[in-house]
Amino acid sequence: MSTLTALSLTPSARDWLATTTAARVLNTFDRACNLINQDEAILALVTSERGLNPFAMVVASADPMPFQVVSATSAVSVEADRLFIGPLQINVASASVWNPIPDWPALRRMFAADPARLEGLAATVMELSTGGSLLDLYGPHPSLRDTLPRCAGEGWGGGLLDRARRGAAELVRGLRAGSTEHCLAGAQALAGLGNGLTPAGDDFIVGALLAVWAGLYGSGAEALCQLIVEAAAPLTTTLSAAYLRAAARGECLAHWHTLFEALLRAEAEAMRTATQSLMNIGHTSGADALAGFLAAHRAHRLHPITG
């Protein structure tokens, strides 16, 4: 049996270990593994601090791909400060706790006092966009204008991009007006839209929820977050629903923390690097989430297509 050591974990991961009585492997990759327990709660095991998400635990291993020995049928159990997954044993006792909640009060003050920070972020995101994500809702990078139909058609045929536009417009309208009806309509249109473990429509909602916590929809909009997630979660994948629920609590990936810290320090180059790093997540997951975060700022581009 191979022994790994847990370096850090989130409060949700710590609670998962404390309350799990039965669990199984949800999905596994060479450098990451997702477990799900009797309460449908997820624990993500990752090999790098950069991979920290709101329900993750980082493990140290001499093997760069420790989870390649894990399969969907691997037995999972928790005993005291140890987690067993097939041939792996993970010692958890010395793991530190990482807080997945950014400094939202500081971010709200920053965006309110200096709107140019958000404008700068939007400009950087659109400059770095390579097409094929929900950032196409706001128009492609100038160099891609001639190829937009091809880019948008990769995974976005059959009116999916139009549906995303309508859903995004409804969600933004609802958050701006404090309208539960429009928020739920937008969430239901976006939920599960796209392919993969975290569909693009869900990533967009995650970004929009983080924008709520950042104060981009004014005070009080946080009250709508849980309602949005309750409408969206049953319509998507188990993993994506976990990200949605975390975002409703104001929790996010380590990549977002790095970006927010760069924005707070007003470090343009660090902000650009962090933006690119976030956009590199998944096929388009990071870009789709950024599209959701910027939706309030780019709302004038979210004109639903009719006819």
| The pLDDT of residue 34 | 97
| Helix H or strand E segment including 45 | strand 42-46
The closest of 263, 258, 153 to 216, measured between CA atoms, is 263
Indicate left, alpha or beta for 238 from its phi (over 0: left) and psi (-120 to 50: alpha).
alpha
| The pLDDT of residue 49 | 79
pTM (global) more than 0.75: yes
Indicate left, alpha or beta for 282 from its phi (over 0: left) and psi (-120 to 50: alpha).
left
Divide the 307 residues of the chain into consecutive groups of 10 and give the mean pLDDT of each group: 94 97 95 96 92 95 91 95 96 96 98 96 96 88 37 52 93 97 98 95 98 96 97 97 98 98 97 98 96 93 59
Contact 295, 208 (CB under 8 A): yes
The closest of 200, 61, 69 to 133, measured between CA atoms, is 200
